[in-house]
Amino acid sequence: MAKKQKKDLIRLAVQIFFLALIILISVNHFRSEQGLAPLLIGSPSLHAVCPFGGVVTIYTYFTEGTFIQKIHQSSITLMWLILGLTLLFGPVFCGWICPFGTVEEFVGKIGRKIFKKRYNNFIPFKLDKLLKYLRYVILLLVVINTAISGKLLFSNFDPYFALFNIWSSEVTRLSLLVLGLVLVGSLFVERPWCKYLCPLGALLGIFNLFRIVKLKRNEKSCINCKACDRVCPMNIDICTSKVISDHQCISCLLCTDEIACPVNNSLNFSVLERKNLKENSEEDSGRKINKNISGGGK
Amino acid sequence: MKIKSIHILLAIIIIIGGGILLASELDLYNTTRVKSPRKTVEGLYDVTDMRGSHTLEEIEKYYQLPASSVIEAFGLRPDTNPNFFQLKDMKEIFKPVELEEEEYIVETDTVKVFTSLYLKISYVSDETFYLPEKTVNYLIESGKLIGEEKDYWQGHTFKLEYLDSKYLTASEFSKIVVKEAEGFKVTGKTTVQELLGSGITEEKFEEVTGFKVPEDKSILVRDFVIDKGIEFGEIKDKFIE
């Protein structure tokens, strides 16, 4: 078990790094506006380091060769880099990098302590499944409206911008309200913004259908303990699929045999078809089941 | 091949970290915009690209719209310093108004419409259908509004109120107004152009920074010195010593 906790620390370290980086950028931007020198790194605006800025300006970029207000070249570059990473590994950005997702996850840890097994299970399955498509509607609305208006309308209700720019007069009351609702919601549901509302998550989620490195379950070695389902922050039904290509997957790796799955080579990210693995897994499974049958957990 | 957390970590470092480094080398990772607005096909600066971060002085430079006319037309303090006053600062001075059941904030778009009317440049706004009464009267008195245009705007005015009733009379008004007596200050938003415009010579610039004045004078002094590995906080006051 100690070995597993250590491995999960890699993702935690990456999350903390990016969260600290965004906080530093935000502080530096504030200092810059006060005429003070930035600390350690530069002082770009939050818009400049958000890949979603690249998505919303894409129409203006290709039709007029310009960016919409407040968006810079860096947003476009980051967008292509994130899309490349997502094509390979799925929405790693959501599960590992996005500081807002990290904050939701940290708040969710409090909710998990309060509600225990009921946490992340408050919304009925059918409603949850339906609500998960809402983010595609938001993605379409945001991209189309931004293309028509040429303005960064999304920042008016963007809780990420509100949280990390809370000192700024640019933050609207609506975005503060959305931020409050999301943070409170995170006490009941894991990553509510990512799951139901995030337009960037919606775009990246589509890549789950054809990403190169896939999440695969070995049906032969799987003992159907549902440890993977229990730890999945996005409520994906993992234990009934052979290849998990659900549009909600955030590539957090929590469900894999590296962390939650108690059977070696039963559930993991892999890039090539396995042949020998299946055979090996049958031998390994007997040894590991007894140790970890209680399943994973965060 | 089985992919583990460590592989994802390496992928993030290589793709995101390496990608940003490569893009920076190829000049594809600019996190700031050049301050000059884009030009129209006629070669004039495009009113649509007027930004909240533009100062009144920049508006005068790019659009040939006198800063004094904006100050007078909007009822700003006469001692407003065009070097420092940005268009977005207006929302910290004027109260939002309720127009046709929607909140309207006097800010950049209001100045865009004023500029288009004052300079007779075409600009179609999708949010400004009313102007402050004071501004419309200024345009009429300056002979910029005539005929149907005059009739339209005379029927689409609102009363402009200050957020702080002491705005016009207070001896100081925070950072919005910087008195000339305080002299020129180099801040994080000062461009090389502004620095030279304030009377700092190219020799002084070279003496302080150790580098020649860049060709692109629209970049921020702060960005320029940081790019050269110099701490901005250490040198910003040396320009005026």
CA A32 remoteness from chain centre: 30
Q: Indicate yes or no: CB of B188 within 8 angstroms of CB of A42.
A: no
- Answer whether residue A34 shows pLDDT above 50: yes
Check if B3 contacts A (Cβ < 8 Å).
yes
* pLDDT tens for each residue of B85-102: 889 888 888 999 988 888
**What mean pLDDT value characterizes chain B?**
82
| Beta pairing partners, B131 | B157
Among B2-16, B164-178, B225-239, name the one with the lowest average pLDDT: B164-178
Map residue B132 onto helix, strand or coil. Answer: strand
Q: Counting beta carbons within 10 angstroms of the beta carbon of residue A4, is it exposed (0 to 12), middle (13 to 18) or buried (19 or more)?
A: middle
* Over residues A107-131, mean pLDDT: 90
The pLDDT of residue A15: 95
- Answer whether residue A293 shows pLDDT above 60: no
Confidence tier at A36 by pLDDT (50, 70, 90): low
The pLDDT of residue B100: 84
Helix (H) or strand (E) holding B200: none
Among A23-32, A54-63, A84-93, B132-141, name the one with the lowest average pLDDT: A54-63
Q: Counting beta carbons within 10 angstroms of the beta carbon of residue B126, is it exposed (0 to 12), middle (13 to 18) or buried (19 or more)?
A: exposed
Which of these, A80, A42, A45, lies nearest to B28 by C-alpha position?
Answer: A80
Taking the model in full, what pTM does it have?
A: 0.64
- Residues of chain A positioned with their CB less than 8 A from the CB of B6: 10
Distant-in-sequence, close-in-space partners of B162: CB < 8 Å, separation ≥ 6: B93, B94, B95, B168
- Residues of chain B positioned with their CB less than 8 A from the CB of A271: 1, 3
Check if B20 contacts A (Cβ < 8 Å).
yes
The pLDDT of residue A292: 46
- Answer whether residue A287 shows pLDDT above 60: no
- Answer whether residue B181 shows pLDDT above 50: no
Minimal Cβ distance to B31: which of A36, A44, A81: A44
Min Cα separation B176/chain A (Å): 12
Minimal Cβ distance to A81: which of B2, B9, B16: B16
Map residue B227 onto helix, strand or coil. Answer: helix
The structure tokens listed for A278 are 């299946």
Min Cα separation A271/chain B (Å): 5
Distant-in-sequence, close-in-space partners of A198: CB < 8 Å, separation ≥ 6: A94, A135, A138
Distance (Å, whole) CA A262 – CA B177: 66
**What mean pLDDT value characterizes chain A?**
83
Distance (Å, whole) CA B175 – CA B69: 21
DSSP B10-49: HHIIIIIIIHHHHHHHTT----S--SSPPB-TTSSBPGGG
Q: Strand B131-132 and strand B102-104: pairing?
A: unpaired
List the 175-194 stretch of B: residues with Cβ below 8 A of A.
185, 187-189
- Answer whether residue B116 shows pLDDT above 50: yes
Distance (Å, whole) CA B141 – CA B118: 11
Identify the residue with better confidence: B15 or A53.
B15
Q: Crossing angle for the helix pair A199-206 and A73-89, nearest 10 degrees? A: 40
CB B161 within 8 A of CB B95: yes
Minimal Cβ distance to B1: which of A36, A44, A272: A272
- Answer whether residue A33 shows pLDDT above 70: no
Distance (Å, whole) CA A224 – CA A212: 26
The pLDDT of residue B224: 81
Identify the residue with better confidence: A206 or A29.
A206
* Over residues A259-281, mean pLDDT: 71
Q: Strand B157-158 and strand B131-132: pairing?
A: parallel
Q: Indicate yes or no: CB of B8 within 8 angstroms of CB of A89.
A: yes
The pLDDT of residue A285: 46
Dmax (CA) of chain A: 65
| Beta pairing partners, B94 | B162
Residue-range domain boundaries for chain B: 1-31, 47-158, 184-240
Among A20-24, A108-112, A217-221, B228-232, name the one with the lowest average pLDDT: B228-232
* pLDDT tens for each residue of A37-77: 667 777 777 887 888 888 877 877 777 666 777 777 888 89
CB B221 within 8 A of CB B233: no
* Over residues A21-49, mean pLDDT: 77
Distance (Å, whole) CA A73 – CA A51: 10
CB B184 within 8 A of CB B236: no
Confidence tier at B204 by pLDDT (50, 70, 90): confident
List the 201-240 stretch of B: residues with Cβ below 8 A of A.
222-223, 226, 231-234, 236
